[in-house]
Amino acid sequence: MKVYAFICTRDKNLSKTTEKLLSYLSSCNVDTKILVGSKSIFSGYQKAFEHVKPEDNDIIILCHDDIEILSSRDTFAKALSHRLVDSKTGFVGVAGTTLLSKDATWWNHQLWSQGKHRGFVFHGDNLESSQSTYYGQNDKVIVLDGLFLAATAKVIRDIGLEKPEYLKGDWDFYDIHYTFTANQKGYNNYTVPIFILHNSFGNLAGRESWHDNRERFINKHSLPKEIK
């Protein structure tokens, strides 16, 4: 079994955070592909997947370029593979929700207060000044945040990485589309105990293309949807 990581970045001059991420993944024997200047995150991931031609049981990581993985190498490897050995598992990640509401916003604060969310993430430029965000105990979820996702190549082939026709924006809602599709195909998605520092607080969720794709997703699917 091999592990691959696909990371889209807009700048060929990699940040220190990205360089540190690459070093960490390399130390874990992860074959990492940096995707610079992709037309969209969908096409970037798809082309990288087609290029490596993975075996069905190989693990594919899709992650942001502005994260730092804080877990030890052994903990990372065990947490990554624990759920993915089960053929019924779709995606694993570090943050998600058990109920996707009518607004299709996975981090919906009302549902958060009701205990519907799962996972844990540090947010900030560095660990010392970061904000620790506890969403809920790791478990099964409907959808996952795209800062870090992983699935077997077999699952990836089943759901597809190409941009669906109903979405217009090239960089938004891919994570909700991928993980929701996996759930609808009968796979189980999970949050897992991998500790990550994310340099972003989700600012891009406010841009017009994000809202456009969100509305298109809402119009396409019958929401809310909840784990049974």
**Predicted pLDDT of residue 148:** 98
**Predicted pLDDT of residue 204:** 53
Indicate whether 179 pLDDT > 70.
yes
**Predicted pLDDT of residue 112:** 95
How many Å separate Cα 127 from the centre of its chain? 21
**Predicted pLDDT of residue 97:** 98
Could you tell me what percent of the chain has a pLDDT over 90?
A: 88
* Per-residue confidence band for 201, with pLDDT thresholds at 50, 70 and 90: low
End-to-end CA distance of the chain: 32
The whole-number average pLDDT for the span 153-159 is: 98
Three-class SS of residue 69? strand
Give me the long-range contacts of 180-184 (CB less than 8 A, separation at least 24): 180/100, 180/142, 180/143, 180/221, 180/225, 182/90, 182/91, 182/151, 182/155, 183/90, 183/142, 183/143, 183/225
- Dihedral in degrees, nearest 10, Cα atoms 64, 70, 72, 73: 20
Return mean pLDDT, the chain.
94
**Predicted pLDDT of residue 203:** 53
Three-class SS of residue 68? strand
Those residues with Cβ within 8 angstroms of residue 208's Cβ, 6 or more apart along the chain or in another chain: none
* Per-residue confidence band for 205, with pLDDT thresholds at 50, 70 and 90: low
**Predicted pLDDT of residue 208:** 85
Determine if residue 186 is left, alpha or beta; phi over 0 gives left, psi from -120 to 50 gives alpha, anything else beta. left
Indicate whether 118 pLDDT > 90.
yes
- The CATH code for residues 3-226 is 3.90.550.10
The whole-number average pLDDT for the span 37-62 is: 95
* Per-residue confidence band for 202, with pLDDT thresholds at 50, 70 and 90: low
As given in the structure block, the two tokens for residue 82 are 């624990």
User: CA gyration radius for the chain?
Assistant: 16
The whole-number average pLDDT for the span 104-133 is: 94
**Predicted pLDDT of residue 21:** 97
**Predicted pLDDT of residue 37:** 83
| Contact criterion met (CB below 8 Å) for 179 and 227 | no
Query: Domain spans of the chain?
Result: 3-226
pLDDT tens sequence across 70-113: 999 999 999 999 999 999 999 999 999 999 999 999 999 999 99
**Predicted pLDDT of residue 11:** 79
Strand-pair category, 95-97 with 143-144: antiparallel
Report the distance separating Cα 173 and Cα 186, nearest Å: 20
Could you tell me what percent of the chain has a pLDDT over 70?
A: 97
| Contact criterion met (CB below 8 Å) for 41 and 9 | no
